[in-house]
């Protein structure tokens, strides 16, 4: 079964080129950190409220990196909120991404190709060889956003992550996104971890905008 | 710690929740809602007058329950939230996907 980290990475990849869509590194970090926390929350290992993130059960879930992060949270002596943990875990984004990609390759969903460019530099691409998993995620997203049905919490979580890194445009046209924006906004509020991921990304974007405005003057 | 009471009012099953609905107690609430819906009672009211705390895990169970009722052509409603819990529900927008009423009477009137 795919984790939220796996699912959001599949959406972040350009299926044909096998390269990542243009997503700011800090944004990808926060989204992957949020996905790890969602995996732990849905496995009943952690719980959250607006002021703290709590460990319910230290039993590993069988994903090495998730389990190491769970151990770190459990070993922490201070009470920290979800946003603080998202910021801490985002520093491990590269490892989270690489571990998930390796699993997706091992499961025959992606293939790993190394290519050289400018004769010297190497880049790794991950073209999709079995699109069923990604299609299923996209179907779940469209099913929720194009209806008034009460959503499944798992679908809420993946929509939060996808909207936070602005990749719903891979599923819908710009016009459609504009039309369903009220529904997206309704859904993305329903998951606290997702809300904190979006909040952290917005703060960074505002800081960048402010810095750019300052530089102009 | 959470206690759950259950009674039937007209064709609505009222689940009274007392205490905390969090990651440790939410599975019990989920199981109870599932049992009720599986036996064919698809109109469920969560009376939260005695609920003192709700975490993300608790909110997820509200959503799962509401979805299960809806998929069975029923409805899940919430009533009598205390101010702290009401604030959590409203901040997270749950009141836009689940009908919330101030009192049990108002919820039952809306269901009839």
Can you give the three-state secondary structure of chain A, one letter per residue? CCCHHHHHHHHHECCCCCCECCCCHHHHHHHHHHHHHHHHHHCCCEEEECCEEEECCCCCCCCHHHHHHHHHHHHCCCCCCHHHHHHHHHCCHHHHHHHHHHHHHHCCCECCEEEEECCCEEEEECCECCCHHHHHHHHHHHHHHCCCCCCCHHHHHHHHHHHHCCCHHHCCCHHHHHHHHHHHHHHHCCCHHHHHHHHHHHHHHHHHHHHHHHHHC
Strand A46-49 vs strand B43-54: parallel, antiparallel, or unpaired?
unpaired
Phi, psi of B8 (to 5 degrees): -110, 130
Mean pLDDT of all residues in chain A? Answer: 92
With bands split at pLDDT 50, 70 and 90, how would you rate the model's confidence at B67? very high
Non-local CB neighbours of A109 within 8 Å, separated by 6+ positions = A10, A128, A129, A130, A133, A134
Q: Calculate mean pLDDT across residues A182-192.
A: 95
With bands split at pLDDT 50, 70 and 90, how would you rate the model's confidence at A12? very high
Q: What is the dihedral of CA B103, B105, B110, B111, to 10 degrees?
A: 110
Q: Could you tell me the CA-to-CA distances from B108 to B46, B51, B102 in Å, in that order?
A: 11, 19, 11
> Does the distance separating the beta carbons of B98 and A150 come in below 8 Å?
yes
Least confident of A24-28, A97-101, A120-124: A120-124
pLDDT at A216: 67
pLDDT at A118: 63
Q: Is B109 on the interface with A (CB under 8 A)?
A: no
pLDDT at A119: 63
Q: Calculate mean pLDDT across residues A140-152.
A: 96
pLDDT at A25: 92
pLDDT at B108: 95
Interatomic CA distance for residues B92 and B56, integer angstroms = 10
Count interface pairs A-B at CB distance under 8 A. 62
Contact by Cβ (8 Å): A11, A170: yes
* pLDDT tens digits along B21-46: 999 999 999 999 999 999 999 999 99
Q: Calculate mean pLDDT across residues A206-210.
A: 81
Mean pLDDT of all residues in chain B? Answer: 96
pLDDT at B109: 94
Tell me which chain A residues have a C-beta less than 8 angstroms from the C-beta of B23.
Answer: 44, 46-47, 54, 56
**Of A187, A10, A33, which Cα lies nearest the Cα of B97?**
A187
Q: Calculate mean pLDDT across residues A12-28.
A: 90
Reported pTM: 0.93
Q: Could you tell me the CA-to-CA distances from A206 to A24, A86, A160, A200 in Å, in that order?
A: 14, 18, 19, 10
pLDDT at A206: 82
With bands split at pLDDT 50, 70 and 90, how would you rate the model's confidence at A15? confident
pLDDT above 90 coverage of chain A, percent:
77
* pLDDT tens digits along B73-103: 999 999 999 999 999 999 999 999 999 999 9
Residue of A nearest to B64 (CA): A152
Interatomic CA distance for residues B72 and B62, integer angstroms = 16
CA B91 to chain centre: 17
pLDDT at A214: 74
In a mutational test of the A interface, the residue from B2, B56, B67, B75 whose CB has the highest number of chain A CBs within 10 Å is B56
* pLDDT tens digits along B7-16: 999 899 999 9
* pLDDT tens digits along A39-58: 999 999 999 999 999 999 99
pLDDT above 70 coverage of chain A, percent:
96
Phi, psi of B9 (to 5 degrees): -125, 110
Which range, A110-119, A188-197, A207-216, has the best average confidence (pLDDT)? A188-197
Query: Which residues numbered 191-210 in A keep a CB inside 8 Å of some CB on B?
Result: 191-193, 195
Q: Is A152 on the interface with B (CB under 8 A)?
A: yes
Kindly tell me the burial class for residue A25, based on how many C-beta atoms sit within 10 Å of its own C-beta (0-12, 13-18, 19 or more).
exposed
Residue A122: pLDDT over 90: no
Least confident of A13-22, A87-96, A184-193, B48-57: A13-22
């Amino acid at each position: 079964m795919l984790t939220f980290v796996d699912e959001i990475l599949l959406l972040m990849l350009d299926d044909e080129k096998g390269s990542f869509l243009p997503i700011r590194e800090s944004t990808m970090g926060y989204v992957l950190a949020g996905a790890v926390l969602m995996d732990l929350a849905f496995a009943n290992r952690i719980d959250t409220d607006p002021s703290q993130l709590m460990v319910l059960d230290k039993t590993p879930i069988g994903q090495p990196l998730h389990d190491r992060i769970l151990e770190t949270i459990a070993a922490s002596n201070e009470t920290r909120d979800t946003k603080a943990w998202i910021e801490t875990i985002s520093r491990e984004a590269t490892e989270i991404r690489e571990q998930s990609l390796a699993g997706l390759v091992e499961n025959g969903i992606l293939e790993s190709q190394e290519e050289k460019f400018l004769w010297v530099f190497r880049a790794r691409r991950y073209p999709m060889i079995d699109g069923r998993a990604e299609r299923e995620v996209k179907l779940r997203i469209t099913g929720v956003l194009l209806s008034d049905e009460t959503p499944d919490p798992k679908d809420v979580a993946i929509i939060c992550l996808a909207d936070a890194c602005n990749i719903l445009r891979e599923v819908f046209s710009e016009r459609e996104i504009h039309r369903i924006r009220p529904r997206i906004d309704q859904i993305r509020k329903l998951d606290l971890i997702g809300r904190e991921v979006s909040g952290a990304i917005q703060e960074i974007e505002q800081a960048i905008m402010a810095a750019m405005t300052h530089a102009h003057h | 710690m959470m206690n759950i009471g259950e009674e039937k009012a007209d064709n609505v099953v009222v689940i009274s929740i007392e205490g905390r609905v969090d990651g440790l107690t939410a599975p019990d609430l989920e199981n109870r809602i599932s049992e009720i819906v599986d036996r064919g009672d698809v109109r469920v009211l969560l009376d939260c007058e005695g609920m003192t705390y709700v975490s993300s895990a608790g909110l997820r169970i509200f959503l799962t329950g509401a979805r299960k009722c809806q998929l069975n052509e029923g409805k899940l409603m919430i009533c009598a939230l205390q101010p702290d819990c009401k604030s959590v529900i409203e901040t997270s927008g749950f009141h836009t996907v689940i009908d919330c009423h101030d009192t049990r009477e108002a919820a039952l009137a809306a269901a009839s």
